[in-house]
Structure 1
Amino acid sequence: MIGAIAGDIIGSPHEFDPIKTTDFPLFSAPSRFTDDTVLTIATAEAILTGGDYTRLYQSYGRRYPDAGYGGRFIHWIYEPEPRPYNSWGNGSAMRVSPIGFAFNSIEEVLAEARNSAAVTHNHPEGIKGAQATALAVYLARMGADKHTLKAEITARFGYNLDRTLDQIRPGYVFNESCRQTVPEALIAFLESDAFEDAVRKAVSLGGDSDTLACITGAVAQAHYGVPPSIIAETRSRLPDDLLHLLDRFAARFPAAAV
């Protein structure tokens, strides 16, 4: 889970100032956690406590109202009787990584990813993006090699993972859909050779960079681990309440910590 949060923070300066290169400062003054981190932590708390996803997403969203949520979600968090709004956006995928670290079968991962998405992102593409991301984290955590992971995600979800970043990058622009975020984030992981390389490649696509890097970072953590220096810098940019929950989750699911 720390890999997703690191990716979010690393990608944040470029969300609305896209770059098409891997050569950029990994952390800089504008690097900050966004809604990706806030809702990832909310998902982790739901798993730890058996809490309700709707209640926790609303609670965390209200606690951090300026984290950069989508327009529909920011209204949803204040609704007295919130209902899913058929979103196909990448918000379902950005917050789902704790599920890949916490559950111990493909069936459990897919079911819980659906549950976490469906409270807001109940469109089939929103569900699919969450499931694909959580499953990729789970497979990487369980030691699947990249060929196996790619084949499994392709077979289950129909994503085209045969493209290269060099093919994608020139025409790729900011896109909030799962359909045009999750496959690209997974390709960044598949082409990488280390955690930092994976996140840099995700940001270099020039799209919704914090979410791309959040998704890539989650899978890359499960496969490579996260360098201690990146963990330390990431933790230094989080408030105490988010750190506390992060540490509680890591104590129960140690793979999520490194």
Structure 2
Amino acid sequence: MIGAVIGDVTGSSYEFDNNTEDYDLDLFREGTTFTDDTVCTIAVADAILHHKSYESALLEWCGRYPGRGYGGRFQMWLTSAVHRPYGSYGNGSAMRVSPVGWAFEDLEITLAEAERTALPTHNHPEGIKGAQVVAEAIYRLWRGEWDKIQELLISSYGVDYERQLPGVGVFDETCQGCVPLSLLILTKSTDFEDSIRSAIHYGGDSDTLAAIVGSMAEAYFGVPDTLAERALSYLPQDMREIYEEFRDRFIPTSSLEV
């Protein structure tokens, strides 16, 4: 899940500044911070670790860290008296699901848990599918099944998936736009840092795109210690504690560094 955090943090200052044509952009420039992508990912990890419902963990963590770029409908969900799912197919379900891909030993259970993480808010079929596709990719990648990723992309989004991708720099918050794009970027990446740079460089919803790409890239390439330590330095202590507890329980040592 550190891959999602790195993607979110490094992409945060570029989310509404997509005019850069520089692949060698400054990953930690002024204005870098953590956003809703990290908060919600930590919430999912906390729920898994401490047997909380995904809904209660999201409400707890997002309430603890307000004003972190939550989408309008998600913000209404957070502050409403009754918390009902609102049929979203936004990419929020895909950006927060990464802990599920590491925590469960069976693919069927992984897919069921991914759906559960989406259901409190993103109960549209595309919202659920987006979460499940990312979780399955992570599940397969850290087991070395790189050859399954293109198959997953096509079986989930069709042989003509590229026709539905947002153009370079286009802000697309949907799962059906963002998730196949994330998989495509991943399949063209040469290492973890290349995947993050490529996602941010593509533009649009930079932090969420990089968070999703990073969550999957971590599982296959591993994460450089320097990037992990720098990104974690932007997180408050309670988030770092959840990350460290989750890492120590679920992440294979071989995935922690390259």
Question: Offset at 1:232?
Answer: 1.0
Distance 1:27 1:161 in 2: 36
Distance 2:168 2:130 in 1: 22
**Does the aligned pair in 1 maintain the 2:9–2:32 contact within 8 Å?**
yes
Which residue of 2 is the match for residue 220 of structure 1? 217
**What is the letter of the counterpart of residue 32 of structure 1?**
T
**Does the aligned pair in 1 maintain the 2:8–2:37 contact within 8 Å?**
yes
Which residue of 1 is the match for residue 49 of structure 2? 48
Q: SS where residue 204 of structure 1 aligns?
A: helix
Q: SS where residue 25 of structure 2 aligns?
A: coil
Distance 1:115 1:171 in 2: 32
Distance 1:243 1:84 in 2: 29
Question: Offset at 1:170?
Answer: 5.3
Question: Offset at 1:171?
Answer: 4.7
> Tell me, which stretches of 5 or more residues in structure 2 are unaligned?
none
Which residue of 1 is the match for residue 66 of structure 2? 65
TM alignment of 1:189-200, pairs within 5 A: 189-200=186-197
Residues 160 and 238 of structure 1: CA distance in aligned 2, closer, same or farther (over 3 Å): farther
> Tell me, which stretches of 5 or more residues in structure 1 are unaligned?
none
Which residue of 1 is the match for residue 99 of structure 2? 98
1:16 aligns with 2:16: yes
TM alignment of 1:40-189, pairs within 5 A: 40-145=41-146, 147-155=147-155, 157-159=156-158, 163=162, 171-189=168-186
**Does the aligned pair in 1 maintain the 2:161–2:180 contact within 8 Å?**
no
**What is the letter of the counterpart of residue 240 of structure 2?**
L
Normalised to the residue count of structure 1, the TM-score between the two structures is 0.93
Distance 1:182 1:237 in 2: 26
**Does the aligned pair in 2 maintain the 1:101–1:253 contact within 8 Å?**
yes
- Percent pairwise identity: 44
Which residue of 2 is the match for residue 237 of structure 1? 234
Q: SS where residue 177 of structure 2 aligns?
A: coil
Question: Offset at 1:81?
Answer: 2.0
Question: Offset at 1:160?
Answer: 5.0
Q: SS where residue 62 of structure 1 aligns?
A: helix
**Does the aligned pair in 2 maintain the 1:92–1:121 contact within 8 Å?**
yes
**Does the aligned pair in 1 maintain the 2:142–2:220 contact within 8 Å?**
yes
Q: Cα deviation per residue 1:33-57 (whole Å; 9 max; x = unaligned)? A: 1000000000001111111111111
Distance 2:144 2:66 in 1: 37
> Aligned-residue CA RMSD in angstroms?
1.9
Q: How many residue pairs end up in the alignment?
A: 254
Which residue of 1 is the match for residue 244 of structure 2? 247
**Does the aligned pair in 2 maintain the 1:59–1:77 contact within 8 Å?**
no
**What is the letter of the counterpart of residue 14 of structure 1?**
Y
Q: Cα deviation per residue 1:138-170 (whole Å; 9 max; x = unaligned)? A: 11011112x322113422x12558749xxx685
**Does the aligned pair in 2 maintain the 1:129–1:179 contact within 8 Å?**
yes
Instruction: Say which is worse superposed, 21-30 or 248-257, in terms of deviation.
Output: 248-257
Residues 5 and 107 of structure 1: CA distance in aligned 2, closer, same or farther (over 3 Å): same
**Does the aligned pair in 2 maintain the 1:8–1:36 contact within 8 Å?**
yes
| TM superposition outliers: structure 1 runs of 4+ over 6 Å | none
